[in-house]
Chain A
Amino acid sequence: MTESFPFPRRTPVRVTFGLGMLLLGIFGFVPAVGVLIASLTDLRGLPGLPINFVGLQNYIDFFSPAKWADSANALRNTIIFAVVSTALQIVVALAVAVLLNRRLRGRNFYRAVVFMPTILGVTVTGLVWSLIFNVSGGPAASLLGLFGGHSAFFGDPKLALALVILVQVWMVLGVSVIIFLSGLQAVPEELNEAAEIDGASGWQRFRSITIPLLAPSITANVLLGIVNALQSYQLIYVLSGPNNRSTQVLSLLVYVQGFGGASGTTLSQSQGYAAAVSMVQFFLVAIVSIIALLILRRREARL
């Protein structure tokens, strides 16, 4: 088996990996260092304006009493958005994957339907759901109207975040289902059959065979889900706009500060401050991801 290395020669490996590393370095690492440097300046959006080194002032501003209401609101929304959407995504995706792993007529069609929203992309998804939740004559408003109810949907500060989470789960469900399906197909049928002969119920088999063997898929899905949700802002931007406080997450705050999403104001673009917010976000993503990875790996080992 010593010849099982997929490449017969080393040169292609070096070239392809080297290219990958170079692209990652230029388009990933260099901009990341650039953002760190920018966060220490008063960089603005327009070329030709003077740039001054301001030290940690942008970070101090983020945690300052004047900005804290905005920062705390964005942090809270980010955490709620990430945790709830990831949890919901895992539970629903697992249920759908188990269902689609059974022998049922038209299985491939259902799989395609479940995966379809992933292909649509953020803007199309956002527009579709904006139309569904259109307050005047949209399907959701009409349905609610049948029961004598009405709602501003994305305009309702108590409902907006929940609706955005719902759409986010709908949009990313396909990928999670595919990962779970691949995991489920790797579960040996004999184990289930043996357990069935031993008299294990469906739930017992699911709990004691399927879940432990799916542990790596769960780890992958949780991590991908959390990282994706912590960074996501595009969907929120399309669904509820850049300045809706009830759905403003950290990455949207970065966008608004850095690229001047607040129309009708004299506020200048403050890309230095936006860079500082994105560094805070980076640490949040890193810490949450590392903790989640450690917990899930430990759990995988135990299972």
Chain B
Amino acid sequence: MATKRLRGATLGRRLIAGAVAAATIGALAACSSGGGSTDGEPSGKLQLLVSSSDATDAGFRAINEAFEKQYPKVDVVFSTVSNDNYPATKSSRLTAGNLDLFVVKGLMETPSYAKDAATDDARLAKAGGLVDLTGESFLKQYTPTLLDTQAIDGKQYAVPTGVSYYTGVFYNKKIFADNGLTIPTTWSEFTAVVDALKAKGVTPFGMGGKDSWPAGLPMLASVTANYPTLADKQQLAKDLWTNKAKLTDPTEVKVLKQTEYVLQNSQEGAAGADYTSIPSGFAAGDFAMTVDGTWDQPTIDAAVAKKFDYGYFPFPGSDNAADNALLNGKTELQLAVPTSAKNKTAALAWLKFFSDKKNYELFLQKSGFSSAQPGISTSAFLQSIGDYTKSYEPAWDQVWFANNKAGQDAVFPFNYPALSPLGSATPEQAAEAAQKAWSAAG
């Protein structure tokens, strides 16, 4: 088939083609949405972005509804995104400049030995990307020690929405009672409980290993027991960064062994199970225990629906009961206002409204968080773990700063994802791989 050769295009035609193309692209370009009030009475749209969980979403929705009743001119646009997708969503919406209030993570001062390992949000605060809330009156309602842990250069950039504990074990009181078992307070008592359950044909643990991070909870719990105080954990982090300690040292391997113990005594196919399937399995009595955070208590409570009683005890990783006495936790979902916010007035009004005792109690009731304010009444469940939380201790992941230069084996740095059945390594091999990735990073 013959084709005609095109003549050389004239400049005019090219310009017309270019203009048409430019006009098309212009038409395709999206318009940005309008902002809101600038001063005085809050009004307009308030863009709120959080990382999702059923319980906290319910808490935020309740607050939003109450807020819109008090400020009818404000329309709260509430976006909730899964944890894995949250950083990408946050990044793109900050870049687009359509966020007024959002959840920041890891807002804490970086220790001098790990100065290149600052978190994204700490960098953002230092670079002037977050509104300085230090002088805001509503911050005075929060527990000062919690505020101290999130200060950057002595300034406050976020409101802590609560505290969660996640180095404990939910247990089915009925299964324990039926088998004559009591809460274990040492590692040998714990293994005896597991053996007794297995002997009766009861699966000891439920685990949502497909999402990977839930399998990290026994690791964090084991670190809590083996490095009980904040000073112990800080020393370990410093020693690892300065290469005085190795990930192949006996206590570090012990942490992985205890993690593996939980993984290997979990339900069939635990490595492929979703985290969200665990509360229903626990409620159905498929297993007697699950290592989980108190943030999941409202979901577990709804699933159990009063069919049986359940409780929560600290993971007893040490043979000295005193080392297992406290739960470790973290400051939950810290809310910050970006300096690029179009509706700062509404954002600050929302934070003030949220911090009000009555509204904050409503949020805690729905979210299941422990209070970040003193003198707030808490749920019966949180009262039941009061002895384990009488003194706040941050968990290992609140102390440890990962090295961006090191490989994935050294991220946590206890290499639980390599352990069988998530991976195929023994605790010793996993520790070896972690140490190799860590020391190679220098």
Contact = CB atoms under 8 A, between A and B. Distances in A.
A4 interface: yes
B211 A266 contact: no
A266 B401 contact: yes
Nearest to A10: B6
B11 to A, nearest CB: 12
Contacts of B9: 10, 14
Interface residues of B, number: 82
A196 B314 CA distance: 79
A246 B425 CA distance: 12
Interface stretch (A92-100, A150-158, A167-175): A150-158
Interface stretch (A115-123, A176-184, A267-275, A287-295): A267-275
B24 A19 contact: yes
Contacts of A270: 404
Residue among B18, B24, B123, B272 facing the most chain A CB atoms (10 A cut-off) = B272
Nearest to B340: A47
Interface string B256-277: 0000000000011111111001
A47 to B, nearest CB: 5
Contacts of A240: 210
B433 interface: yes
Contacts of B18: 18, 22
B402 interface: yes
Contact of A18 (B7, B17, B401): B17
Contacts of B7: 10
Interface residues of A, number: 63
Interface stretch (A61-69, A82-90, A199-207, A217-225): A61-69
Given A44-B120, A240-B210, A5 B272 contact: no
B31 interface: no
B119 A268 contact: yes
Nearest to B123: A49
A266 B402 contact: yes
Given A46-B120, A158-B424, A243-B212, A150 B269 contact: yes
B308 to A, nearest CB: 20
A48 to B, nearest CB: 4
Interface string B352-368: 00000000000000000
A152 B272 contact: yes
Given A46-B124, A69-B433, A155 B269 contact: yes
A125 B372 CA distance: 42
B17 A267 contact: no
B35 interface: no
Contacts of B95: 46-47
Contacts of B440: 64-66, 68
A45 B3 CA distance: 50
Interface string A242-253: 111110000000
A10, A45, A154: residue with the most chain B Cβ atoms closer than 10 Å: A45
Nearest to B108: A266
B91 interface: yes
A264 B269 contact: no
Contact of B2 (A1, A18, A64): A1
Nearest to A47: B95
B84 to A, nearest CB: 5
A66 B438 CA distance: 7
A15 interface: yes
Contacts of A212: none
Interface string B94-126: 110000000000100000000001111101100
A23 B28 CA distance: 11
A151 B268 CA distance: 8
A261 interface: yes
A135 interface: yes
Given A50-B127, A155-B421, A263-B84, A22 B3 contact: no
A155 B17 contact: no
Given A45-B91, A47-B340, A155-B422, A135 B408 contact: no
A108 interface: no
A185 interface: no
A19 B21 CA distance: 5
Given A157-B422, A245-B418, A135 B272 contact: yes
Contact of A267 (B3, B402, B436, B438): B402
Contacts of A259: 87-88, 91
A48 B211 CA distance: 32
A49 B401 CA distance: 19
18 contacts: A4-B3, A14-B14, A15-B16, A46-B91, A47-B94, A66-B407, A66-B442, A67-B407, A136-B269, A136-B281, A136-B286, A151-B272, A243-B213, A261-B88, A262-B411, A265-B397, A266-B400, A270-B404
- 8 cross-chain pairs, A with B, having the tightest CB-CB distances, nearest first: A155-B272, A155-B271, A260-B87, A135-B269, A152-B272, A259-B88, A66-B440, A18-B17
Interface of B: 1-4, 6-7, 9, 13-14, 16-18, 20-22, 24-25, 83-84, 86-88, 90-91, 94-95, 106, 117-121, 123-124, 127-129, 209-213, 216, 267-274, 277, 281, 286, 339-340, 397, 400-402, 404-412, 417-418, 421-424, 433, 436-438, 440-442
Given A152-B269, A155-B210, 8 more contacts: A2-B4, A5-B4, A133-B272, A135-B269, A156-B271, A241-B210, A259-B91, A270-B404
Interface of A: 1-5, 10-11, 13-15, 18-19, 22-23, 26, 44-50, 61, 64-70, 133-136, 141, 150-158, 240-246, 259-270
